[in-house]
Chain A
Amino acid sequence: MAPNFEKLLALFGDAKVEMVVIGGVAMNAQGSAYVTFDLDLCYRRTKENIVRMCDALAPYQPRLRGAPENLPFRFDAETVKRGLNFTLTTTLGDLDLLGEVTGIGSYDAALQTSEWREIEGKKYLVLSLAGLIQAKRAAGRKKDLNALPELEALRDLKERMGGKE
């Protein structure tokens, strides 16, 4: 099932979850043609934010992606506090919630290299092109490195056009 990107974003946005959109959706927001099948978010690891995030997601039956159906799993604030990065599947689609982003760091670091973008009338923090390039380079997997030429071309094109879109 392809994720419902807009609904997933809105449920966290409406709940005022402090987060930065990263990964493939951020790439698309910046102009990339990359197709992704999940939504990646970097969330702030404060107690209040984790509670807001878990409460918002609860109705959508989050469970660990790729884990056996019968594996006991409860996505709540205690679980999130004990962990860091979660790859989940939900009734709205696949979702990765990251407490830290490779090459960037925590939410506070991601915030420093993010910008506001409007999606379906709501504003979200989205990782900048520079941040995406930094993260992809640091992650270093083949699929990350394959994305670099396109992202660097996008940055080059935007710069040569005076930063305009």
Chain B
Amino acid sequence: MTRAEHNLAIALIANPPAGSKLAAAKEYGVDLTLLVENLQLTTTERIRKLQSAAEFLEKVRHSVLLTR
């Protein structure tokens, strides 16, 4: 993603066009900044990020179970 494309993406999520799916998602509570962040990554980087998040959340889940 070039700087110009990134700027366009930031502008779109800051002020999504009325009636658009972007606007609907923002209204629904989707964090659109995460989408722009992910679109700057390669597919490999996206899967590594998922791996890291899944491992972290599993650890949290495990520690919560241990304290019960």
The residues in B between 18 and 68 inclusive whose CB is less than 8 angstroms from any CB of A are 20-22, 24-26, 28, 30-32, 34-36, 38-39, 42-44, 46-47, 49-51, 53-55, 57-58
Size of the B side of the interface (Cβ < 8 Å), in residues, is 35
How many residue pairs link A and B with beta carbons under 8 A? The number is 102
Return chain A residues, CB-CB under 8 Å to B13.
157
Query: For chain A, what secondary structure do more than half of its interface residues adopt (helix, strand, loop), or is it mixed?
Result: mixed
> Beyond the given A35-B57, A118-B44, A153-B22, could you list 18 further A-B residue pairs with CB under 8 A, ordered by the A residue number?
A2-B57, A5-B47, A24-B50, A28-B38, A29-B47, A37-B58, A121-B44, A149-B24, A149-B25, A150-B25, A152-B25, A153-B32, A155-B21, A156-B25, A157-B22, A160-B12, A160-B17, A160-B22
Residues of B within 8 A of A (CB): 1, 5, 8-9, 12-13, 17, 20-22, 24-26, 28, 30-32, 34-36, 38-39, 42-44, 46-47, 49-51, 53-55, 57-58
